[in-house]
Structure 1
């Protein structure tokens, strides 16, 4: 639409609204303004909390610390692998012996 035509349509729409609608719109606008102010104050509080915890650089520090911990844990994974294989072998042997043990128990007189 051309700007003059747009303003004419807008003026016609505003002029045709009833007084009751104006009050309802004012209430809705007031509610939206209150919501916006509340959201802005929450955003400011979040910014303050982030600044208190180290600012935006805090995330970088946390990522660096996480990487350091991952580097420290990686060698432990290799140490536990042989133990897990031994444990798995023992569990496999127990699984093989379990039916024989139960058959032996069933064969014993009570």
Structure 2
């Protein structure tokens, strides 16, 4: 049985290899992130909101408006809702949480 704890540090050559791998991994990850930003910024998306404008406003019209302008614009909250739904559609979980928890439960038993 061993009485003294020995710690073997990497040799200078091994340390240089580790530094090289870490630097290479950093630059490859940065390149991957640049690729993701490029792909996401080069996508053309057109939203078609089929919600019709509401009929007449609840307040009385002023005398200066034209007869054909009796509809109001769609609320800004509708635009926020559509943007939120689009954001949720872009998020995709690659790992199933229930399967991961089940595997963790089986491994810990």
TM-score normalized by structure 1? 0.34
| Higher relative contact order, structure no. (Cα contacts within 8 Å, ≥ 6 residues apart) | 2
TM-score normalized by structure 2? 0.34
